[in-house]
């Protein structure tokens, strides 16, 4: 067992490294937000496309399901020949993972509209666009936001792994604390990462209730 040279918890370390901790926290938030936002911007059109062209549904879900089983670390490593160690590496990798969750939830949400409702809406003279915005999207919204919550929480966890390619946000604190057997630094990264995920989850749950007041709130 490696001797822990520093006492734990070392409040002095925390007090004197507030700047470093804050910088990594903000980096963590940024990477997460970029990945979830980019994932969202790709997932929603894809889901709408799959709605329009039903034969695409199976292959899309299958492909994204397979991609999801590729270990995150391998994905970042395999992006190296294409984007090197640039910021695009963690962002693209994390986006792919959030995309998978978002696509699945958006599709499930859109499919929650009963066929009769769609047909009667069309019969009443709604255009497809109106059907989408007035019927399908409101019905799908809870599932979509639930997807955003899930994607956000899991992305917050995944970001830490990008420490192995020089990013990582709070994962940097974890990795550095580990390399220097500074348990305070490591645990600070770990606790803040959980706290960040919890705060994001609660905030998005709140947004979910505000966006869909007609919907009973449900636990994901």
* Contacts to other proteins from residues 4-33, by CB under 8 A: 4-6, 17, 23, 26-27, 29-30, 33
CB of 115 to other proteins, least distance (A): 22
Please tell me whether residue 183 binds other proteins under the rule CB under 8 A: yes
CB-nearer residue toward other proteins: 53 or 74: 74
> Please, what is the end-to-end C-alpha distance for the chain in angstroms?
40
Distant-in-sequence, close-in-space partners of 15: CB < 8 Å, separation ≥ 6: none
Whether 193 contacts 32, CB under 8 Å: no
Q: Binding other proteins by CB under 8 A: which of 45, 63, 86, 120?
A: 86
Please tell me whether residue 202 binds other proteins under the rule CB under 8 A: no
Distant-in-sequence, close-in-space partners of 205: CB < 8 Å, separation ≥ 6: 149, 217
Window contacting other proteins (CB under 8 A); options: 49-57, 99-107, 119-127, 189-197: 189-197
Please tell me whether residue 209 binds other proteins under the rule CB under 8 A: no
**By C-alpha distance, which of 101, 73, 102 is closest to 89?**
73
CB-nearer residue toward other proteins: 99 or 174: 174
CB of 182 to other proteins, least distance (A): 4
Question: What is d(CA 101, CA 161) in angstroms, rounded to the nearest whole number?
Answer: 18
CB-nearer residue toward other proteins: 54 or 129: 129
Question: What is d(CA 93, CA 113) in angstroms, rounded to the nearest whole number?
Answer: 32
CB-nearer residue toward other proteins: 53 or 59: 59
Please tell me whether residue 156 binds other proteins under the rule CB under 8 A: yes
Determine how many CB atoms are found less than 10 A away from the CB of residue 53: 10
Whether 18 contacts 149, CB under 8 Å: no
Please tell me whether residue 53 binds other proteins under the rule CB under 8 A: no
CB of 35 to other proteins, least distance (A): 9
């Amino acid at each position: 067992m490696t001797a822990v040279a520093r006492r734990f918890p070392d409040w002095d370390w925390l007090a004197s490294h507030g700047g470093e901790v804050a910088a990594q926290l903000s980096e963590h938030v940024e990477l997460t937000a970029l990945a979830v936002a980019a994932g969202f911007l790709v997932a929603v059109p894809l889901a709408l496309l799959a709605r329009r062209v039903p034969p695409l549904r199976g292959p899309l879900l299958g492909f994204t399901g397979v991609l999801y089983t590729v270990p995150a670390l391998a994905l970042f490593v395999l992006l190296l020949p294409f984007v090197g160690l640039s910021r695009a590496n963690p962002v693209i990798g994390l986006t792919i993972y959030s995309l998978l969750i978002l696509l699945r939830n958006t599709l499930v949400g859109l499919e929650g509209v009963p066929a009769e409702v769609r047909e009667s809406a069309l019969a009443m003279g709604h255009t497809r666009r109106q059907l989408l915005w007035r019927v399908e999207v409101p019905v799908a919204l809870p599932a979509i936001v639930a997807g955003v919550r899930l994607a956000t929480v899991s992305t917050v966890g995944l970001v830490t792994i990008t420490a192995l390619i020089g990013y990582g946000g709070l994962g940097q604190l974890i990795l550095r604390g580990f390399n220097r057997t500074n348990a305070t630094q490591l645990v600070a990264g770990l606790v803040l990462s959980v706290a960040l995920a919890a705060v994001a989850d609660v905030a998005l749950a709140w947004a979910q209730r505000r966006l869909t007041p007609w919907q009973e709130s449900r636990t994901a």
